[in-house]
């Protein structure tokens, strides 16, 4: 089965099933840890372009004609899994196209894998914005903000959500799965998604932020 995100844990699970090859879509995100473990276990990772069926294409066209909203990448570690599972259908009901990058259960996993996956989709433009949930939300923000072009904000109320969008043009929202109730998380997320960046006097500050980022980017 094709996967959008391949982590070290998935490699280990494949090894337990005695699989020697894993096929992923050509635009899938493969973590460095996953590549290393696959090499150790002798598992081949094969990228393959997955054809879009006529039915799927028709569904996409149908959604676009209905005015479907932007694509949002969502992810979590085990500490945020429960909240992610409750937020996902809520966001779908608001009309957003949701891409769930995992995790898929409450077994312990590493938040950097999933925060990196969400951040990469946003940085590449395959998702317009992203949402990442761990126990507190802080660790995922730290991870995502290592990716050039990402402005991740850990929000804990509607005011911080609105400000992070209006003033900072945040493109990833991180939430605490163990610190926020479901209804508060829903209201924070809704405000964050619906608030528009105001630009103006805030743009020169974002320009300075981008300039600082450029100073530390590695050059080839």
pLDDT score recorded for residue 219:
57
Domain limits at 172?
70-200
Residues 111 and 154 in one domain: yes
CA of residue 31 relative to chain centroid, distance: 14
Residues 195 and 103 in one domain: yes
Residues 106 and 193 in one domain: yes
Q: What is the CATH number of the domain that holds 137?
A: 3.40.1400.10
Domain count, the chain: 2
List, for the chain, all residue ranges whose pLDDT scores fall below the cut of 70: 1-3, 49-68, 218-220
Residues 174 and 82 in one domain: yes
pTM: 0.77
pLDDT score recorded for residue 123:
95
Residues 136 and 79 in one domain: yes
211 in a structural domain: no
pLDDT score recorded for residue 54:
32
98 in a structural domain: yes
Integer-rounded Cα Rg, in Å, for the chain is: 18
Quick: pLDDT tens for 28-85: 888 888 888 888 888 998 887 654 433 333 333 333 333 347 999 999 999 999 999 9
212 in a structural domain: no
pLDDT score recorded for residue 125:
93
189 in a structural domain: yes
pLDDT score recorded for residue 23:
86
**Residues linked to residue 99 through DSSP beta bridges, in sequence order:** 73
Catalytic annotation, residues? 167
56 in a structural domain: no
Q: How far is CA 87 from CA 44, 109, 157, 200, in A?
A: 35, 20, 16, 32
DSSP 61: H
pLDDT score recorded for residue 218:
66
């Amino acid at each position: 089965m094709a996967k959008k995100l391949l982590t070290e844990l998935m490699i280990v699970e494949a090894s337990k099933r005695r699989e020697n090859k894993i096929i992923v879509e050509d635009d899938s995100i493969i973590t460095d840890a996953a590549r290393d473990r696959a090499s150790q276990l002798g598992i081949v990772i094969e990228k393959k372009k997955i054809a879009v069926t006529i039915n799927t294409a028709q569904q996409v066209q149908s959604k676009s004609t209905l005015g479907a909203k932007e694509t949002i990448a969502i992810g979590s570690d085990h500490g945020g899994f429960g909240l992610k599972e409750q937020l996902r259908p809520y966001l779908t009901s608001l009309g957003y196209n949701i891409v769930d990058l995992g995790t898929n259960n409450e077994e312990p996993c590493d938040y950097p894998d999933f925060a990196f996956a969400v951040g990469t989709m946003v940085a590449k433009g395959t998702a317009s914005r992203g949402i990442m949930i761990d126990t507190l939300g802080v660790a995922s923000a730290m991870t995502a903000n290592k990716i050039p072009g990402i402005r991740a904000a850990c929000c804990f109320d509607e005011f911080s959500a609105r400000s992070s969008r209006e003033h900072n043009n945040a493109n990833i929202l991180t939430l605490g799965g163990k610190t926020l109730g479901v209804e508060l998380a829903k209201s924070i997320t809704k405000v964050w998604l619906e608030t528009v960046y105001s630009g103006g006097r805030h743009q020169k500050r974002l320009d300075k932020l981008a300039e600082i980022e450029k100073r530390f980017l590695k050059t080839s």
